[in-house]
Structures are given as C-alpha cells and as structure tokens.
Amino acid sequence: MPVKVVVGAQWGDEGKGKIVDLLSEQVDIVARCQGGANAGHSIEVGNKKYVLHLVPSGILHPHTKCYIGNGVVLDLEVLNAEIEFLASKGIPLHNRLFLSSQAHLVLPYHKLIDQYGENRTALTVIGTTRRGIGPAYSDKVNRQGLRVGDLRYPAQFTNKLTTRLNEIKLRYADAPEIQSLDAIQEAEKYLSQAQKILTMITDVSLELDRAIKQNQSILIEGAQGTLLDIDLGTYPFVTSSNAISGGACTGLGIGPTKIDQVIGIIKAYTTRVGLGPFPTELVGEFGAALRELGKEFGATTGRPRRCGWVDTLIARYAARINGIGEFALTKLDILDSIQEIEICTGYQYKGEILKEFPVDMNVLLQCTPVYESFKGWMAPISHITEFDALPSIAKDYIQRLEDLCEITFSIISVGPGRENTIFRNK
C-alpha cells in the first residue's frame, strides 16, 4: 500500500484539510509532519464544520490512526482544546491519536517573544500569527528547546524551563510581559496540561516504519504551502519549517524511498496571509469581492487573506521542488459568478517575459503578471460530480491549467462538502 504526501502548492490555505479528509477514508494512517497551531484546516461533513490546528484531518474517519510527528511544534493548550472539542462531537480518540516524543513544545514565552517581534518597527515585521511558532523553531535549532518527551520527567522539565526562561529574561529586559513569567508556575501549569496526553507519546518514526512493513497505507499532511517553506519559499516572508514534501521525511523520521506519491493542492485562484510579494494580487473592490465569495479569512486568526488570480509559474515551481505527480484543484465553484477569469502565464520583468518563477525576491518584487483571459461559465457547479458534466468553459479552464502546469488535475473540488468533489481517476 502506498505512502502519499499531500502538499500545498501556493502560500497555504489551498484546501488541504478537505482533500486529506477525502483521501483519509482509504488509508490506515494519517501523519502530520510539520508546522504548528499557526495553521488551520477546515473540513465540512454534512452540516458540521471542523477546524483543526494540530490534530491531523484524518481523525474524522473512525478507522484511521493519526500521528503528530517530530517536525511539528506542539502547543499543549491548543491540542487539549481540540481533543476536548472532538470528544464533544463524538469523535473517538482512544488509541487513535499519537504524538512524537521528539516534537518540540511551544511554551508561553515563545508567544510573548513572537508578539514582541511583531510589535517592533515595520522593517522587522513578517506578519506572523503571533502563536509562538517561529521562536519555538528557533529554540529547536539553537538546541535550547523542550520536547514532548521531557514532559515525562517533571523535575527535569522544570529545571530546563527555568534555565531557558532565565536566559530569555536577560535578553528581553524591556519586555514586562516576559519579565512577569514565573518559571515554577509555568512548569506546573504545563505539566498539568500534559496529563491528558502522556499516554499518547510514542516513537512515531518507529511506528510508521512498522506500519509500512505491514503494508498499511499512510497519508502524510503538512501545514502552510510551498511558498511559505523556510528554504524555498518567498523568504523572509515564510514560515519556520519545511512545508514542502521533503519535510515529510525530516518531520516524521521516514526515508525518501518510502514515499510513493506526492499530491499537490492548488486553489482555482491564489491567496496569501501576511506580508510579502504576491504578483497576481487583486487590490480594490474586485479583490475584496473575491475574498467575500471565497470566505477567505484565516481559520486560525480570522485575518483577511489577500486574493489574486491563479499563477501557473508558482504551480510549476511547486511541482518541481515537491515532485508532485498530480494536482487537486479546489474552490473552482468560487469562480461561478465571475464574468472574466485570468490565468497568469508569465511575468514581465525589465522588458523580458519570465516563464519560470524567480527565486530572487528582488526580481519577484518587480515582476508584473502576464495573463490569458477566459470567459466565465456563469453557472453553479457545486452539484456536479462528473468532469464531463461541467460547463464546457470550466473544462477548458481546467485543461488550460493542466497544459500550463504540466500536471494532471485528478481531483476537483466544487464545494466545501465531501460530496462536492469530482474524482477523475476512479
């Protein structure tokens, strides 16, 4: 049985939650490989909506086991709230949710450091969610972090936290919120929160290896999207982890030869949250109207997303660095009432047309998109479940995207529900 990785092919918010939920019905395990509670997956089942920040989307299928890998930074307060929410909805969790002992913890001072950084001058602002994700990853890389496994040793955990907090107080002497933190109180609070998850801690790498040897099927999900990858995204306006498919290996402790397939998720238009370059961004009334049509507000923060036309240079770039074999196209229905739809086919830069995504941000900031125009299909499509039943203009739009992206679109989402989906490869 295959090991599949699902990755976002834009700046995140592509609709990965729905696609992972759909694919989870056919797998034994869903594993989360990176990111933290700064990302949210929204899933609609019937008339119920579930917003998950840390628990893998596959949890909504009772037969599926879910793992949170070492590449994730874990906020226990958020995790416990999700566990309680799912339990209240009758979602069984016993022997189904497991956490890597090697995952790093998001601690209270990480959130305060994040807020401190984002409250400085405009030159240093990135546009983070202020959830402490970046500072937690910084501690990890600096070898100063605390991990999930440390929670099993209360005295050791308290000593480590005390040492680290004392160091932070020296560095942030002008931050009264940080100075007011008491290490013993924070340790006691965190250790109390940990009581709910201690039985879930395991060696995720070992568990997944055993599952692969037993021929179980595994679906790997991450957070954010390709252009928010710390190495290959639009740096410095990126997240603090590897959001590309390679992050599946480092974030779960599995070798690259174990991965059979990479599925990219791309939205029928483009959005991004926070600051940074965005060549096809639509400003003014039309951009605001598209945001309202697509309900483009962050699942984690509620922040309005910047909206623009679909960009095939980004799609090809994502396909190349992720090894994407097929795309899932989401939110096609949001374009139902738009009279003219644009597809970005290149960038104009200093008198030449670029056909590949430039990794130099100084170049990207000076690029102007080159578009092809399509007449809109001006008809509702959410009820359609077969590709051939789509309006001919919609089919032409998809097939042109396939030609430009050089990738087949095997799944097409035409609405938020599970039933609002077209599978082209049965």
Helices (H), 152-220: 154-171, 176-179, 183-194, 204-213
Beta pairing class for 409-413 and 421-423: antiparallel
First to last CA, the chain: 17
Question: What is the model's pTM?
Answer: 0.92
- Note whether 106 and 74 are within 8 A (CB): yes
Predicted confidence at residue 206, as pLDDT, reads 98
- The model's pLDDT over 293-322, given as tens digits with 9 standing for 90+, comes to 999 987 666 789 999 999 999 999 999 999
- Note whether 212 and 29 are within 8 A (CB): no
Residue reference for tokens 């926070």: 274
Residue reference for tokens 């599970």: 418
Task: Supply 42's token pair.
Answer: 């929204």
Residue reference for tokens 């918010």: 13
Predicted confidence at residue 1, as pLDDT, reads 57
Residue reference for tokens 């039943």: 389
Predicted confidence at residue 49, as pLDDT, reads 79
Bridge partners, 404 (sequence order): none
Residues in the chain, pLDDT under 50: 122-123
Predicted confidence at residue 127, as pLDDT, reads 56
- Note whether 244 and 227 are within 8 A (CB): no
57 vs 80: CA distance, rounded Å: 16
Mark whether 231 is an active-site residue. Answer: no
- Note whether 70 and 205 are within 8 A (CB): yes
Predicted confidence at residue 202, as pLDDT, reads 98
Predicted confidence at residue 52, as pLDDT, reads 87
- Note whether 244 and 226 are within 8 A (CB): yes
Closest by Cα among 21, 37, 8, 6 to 220: 6
Predicted confidence at residue 82, as pLDDT, reads 94
Predicted confidence at residue 344, as pLDDT, reads 98
396 vs 290: CA distance, rounded Å: 21
Closest by Cα among 371, 386, 384, 378 to 426: 386
216 vs 3: CA distance, rounded Å: 9
Task: Supply 325's token pair.
Answer: 């074999």
Predicted confidence at residue 300, as pLDDT, reads 64
Predicted confidence at residue 274, as pLDDT, reads 86
- The model's pLDDT over 67-82, given as tens digits with 9 standing for 90+, comes to 999 999 999 999 999 9
- The model's pLDDT over 208-225, given as tens digits with 9 standing for 90+, comes to 999 999 999 999 999 999
267 vs 305: CA distance, rounded Å: 13
Total residues found in the chain within this entry: 426
Mark whether 75 is an active-site residue. Answer: no
Active-site entry in 21, 41, 75, 114: 41
Bridge partners, 207 (sequence order): none
- The model's pLDDT over 86-127, given as tens digits with 9 standing for 90+, comes to 999 899 888 999 999 999 999 999 999 988 876 655 445 555
